[in-house]
Amino acid sequence: MLIASYVVSRLLQRSMKIMLRSDDARRQGSVAAASRLLHYLVLAIGVSIALQIAGIDMTALFAAGALVAVGIGFALQTISENFFSGLILLLERTIKPGDILQINDQMVRVVEMGIRSTVVRTFADEDLIVPNSVLVKDTVKNYTLRDNLHRVRVLVGV
């Protein structure tokens, strides 16, 4: 059942990407985010069906899982904070792959958005892994939020 849910998830992701194919980088980011959320949803449903097939009572498991989740939430607070920040970013779509941002006085281009972190590249071709909580909590300038045109100021000394 787990393998079947993984295969179904991959097939649904491919079909979603084919049906919603676009040349627009902003739309590609949205499709990738929706595809990733669909993947997690199908896997969660597959795991719950597999547990029911195995004869495990789901009500007892959910009650025990709630207690464990609270403990894990306190123990892994920053990871869960980054995870939910990633969900917020994927749903709000205020930051998308290809956007030019200013984070901590450094201009970067968003390369890839994950559920826990975002990979950005500086103009010196350095890749940085930024936790999603930084993008949600801190003030971030998005130079390409409304359109793809942006201005860069460069000081030149003579």
- pLDDT tens readout for residues 7-53: 998 898 888 877 777 665 556 666 777 788 888 888 888 888 888 88
Per-domain residue ranges of the chain: 2-75, 100-142
User: 105 — alpha (psi -120 to 50), left (phi > 0) or beta?
Assistant: left
| pLDDT score at 32 | 76
pTM above 0.75, yes or no: no
**Alpha carbon separation from 87 to 11, 18, 73 (Å, rounded):** 22, 23, 16
Q: Which CATH class is domain 100-142?
A: mainly beta
| pLDDT score at 17 | 78
Residue 118: CB atoms within 10 Å: 26
| pLDDT score at 24 | 59
pLDDT means per 10 residues, the chain with 158 residues, are 88 82 63 80 87 78 75 75 82 84 89 87 91 87 78 80
